Amino acid sequence: MPHVQSEIFIPKPPAYVYACAKDLVGLKPYLKDVQSLQVLEDHGNRSKSEWVAVAMGKKVHWIEEEEWFDAELRNRFTSPEGDFDKYEGTWVFEEADGGTRVRLELEYELNIPIFGGLLQKLVLKLMKENCDGLLAGLKERAMA
C-alpha cells in the first residue's frame, strides 16, 4: 500500500499551528487542490467532513473522520467511505527551532479503473504533491 510523508516548518508556536489545522473551515480557502470541504459533524476532538479534490482532471470524493489529540498536538484521520479503498494517516505538530515542524503521513489505496497498475507511480506523485500542497496551505493560513 502506498505511503506518503510530507513535512514543513512553520515559524509559529505548535499549539497555534495545530489550532489552524483543526479549524477545517478556516483552512479550506488555503487548500488549492480541494474543490469543496464541508464539515458534517464537529464534536470538539472528533469531526467528520466531506472532501472533493481534483486529480488529473477527475474529481475524487471522500468522507474523512478526524480524531484530534490536543495534549499531544497530533491528529489521526481515516476515510470510511468515498473513492479511496483505504485512506488514513496522521498529523504531528512538534516544536522545532522556535517554530513548528508539521509532519503529515498518509497511506492510501485507490483502485479506480482509470488509475490502473501502470499509473500507480503517477498517482503516488500526485498524492505527494497533494500532501505538500496541504501543508503549504496550512503554512499560508498560519502566517495570515
Element (DSSP H or E) covering residue 79: strand 74-82
Helix pair 14-22, 120-143: axis angle to 10 deg? 120
Q: Which three cell numbers stand for residue 52?
A: 472533493
Other Cβ atoms within 10 Å of 4 Cβ, number:
19
pTM: 0.90
60-65 own/partner pairs: CB under 8 Å, 24+ apart: 60/84, 60/110, 62/87
The tens-digit pLDDT sequence of the chain (144 residues) is 889 999 999 999 999 999 999 999 999 999 988 999 999 999 989 999 999 988 767 788 999 999 999 999 999 999 999 988 899 999 999 999 999 999 999 999 876 565 556 677 777 888 899 899 999 999 999 999
Find the largest Cα–Cα distance for the chain: 46
| Structural domains in the chain plus CATH codes | 3-143 (3.30.530.20)
Give the residue among 108, 3, 127 at the shortest CA–CA distance from 56: 127
